[in-house]
Amino acid sequence: MINKISSRIKDNFEEKDKARESSLSISRDVVRNCRTAMYSIHNKDFKKASSLIEKAAEMLEKINTSLQTYPDIYFAGFLEHAQQEFVESTIVYGILNKDKTIPGPEELNVSDVAYLNGLGDVSGELRRHILDLIRKGSPEEGEYHLQLMEEIHNCLMMFDYPDAMTRGLRHKTDTTRSIIERTRGDLTNAILQQKLEKAMKDFENKIN
């Protein structure tokens, strides 16, 4: 009798282990896809980025189905990390591709915590975009994205709960504040520099 019981338990563990290994592998692919998508977004290859993000969504859905009967593995952490990367790339794609809507956790089919932590990483990518605009001589375009960064920070500030609930969100909120301050300084200096150069050029033209 004991042998039959232990054999049944072992079979259950084997199935559970297969689901875990498969989901872990897929979650790594999700992260890779999302990071490649982010690279494509910054290079304005939105078609490729969209394809990669769609594939990531399909892979996450596959994990959800696979782990439906294993909630302890589902909440082990690796899936949440993949969801965060997916949230970040999806939102940045929407913003830089000039999409007027930002999807919520329900539309993306991710947990609230993963969504908020993914949102917390968006400001770093927006800073990168603003620095690109500064280098291209269009710092004024960056003011819109700086405002979005402020909105994201204000949103994150609302969730002042213990880390056991938010999984490090407070640290990301503090980091977002720091990123905003540095970006504001860079943007202000670039705009002032641009105005100074224009004034000097106008003065030079008047003299000539």
Domain coordinates of the chain in residue numbers? 1-105, 121-208
Tell me whether domains 1-105 and 121-208 share a fold: yes
Measured CA to CA in angstroms, residue 190 lies from 50, 66, 199 at distances of 32, 50, 14
With bands split at pLDDT 50, 70 and 90, how would you rate the model's confidence at 81? Answer: very high
Q: Region 18-47: what's the mean pLDDT?
A: 96
Query: Is residue 49 pLDDT above 90, yes or no?
Result: yes
Burial 109-136, CB ≥16 within 10 A → b, else e: ebbebbbbbbbbbbbbbbbebbbebbee
Contact 187, 146 (CB under 8 A): yes
pLDDT in tens, 12-23: 899 999 999 999
**Across 113-136, average pLDDT:** 96
Mean pLDDT of the chain: 93
Indicate the pTM of the whole model: 0.90
Provide the pLDDT confidence category of residue 1 given band limits of 50, 70 and 90.
confident
Domain 121-208 has CATH 1.20.58.2140: yes
Q: CA-to-CA distance for 42 and 96, rounded, in angstroms?
A: 8
* CA angle centred on 151, ends 149 and 157, rounded to 5°: 105
- Summarised one tens digit per residue, pLDDT across range 153-202 is 999 999 999 998 999 999 999 999 999 999 999 999 998 988 887 778 77
Q: Which of 90, 84, 85 is nearest to 41 (CA)?
A: 90
Q: What is the CATH number of domain 1-105?
A: 1.20.58.2140
pLDDT the model gives residue 51 = 97
Query: Can you give the pLDDT at residue 63?
Result: 94
pLDDT at 2: 85
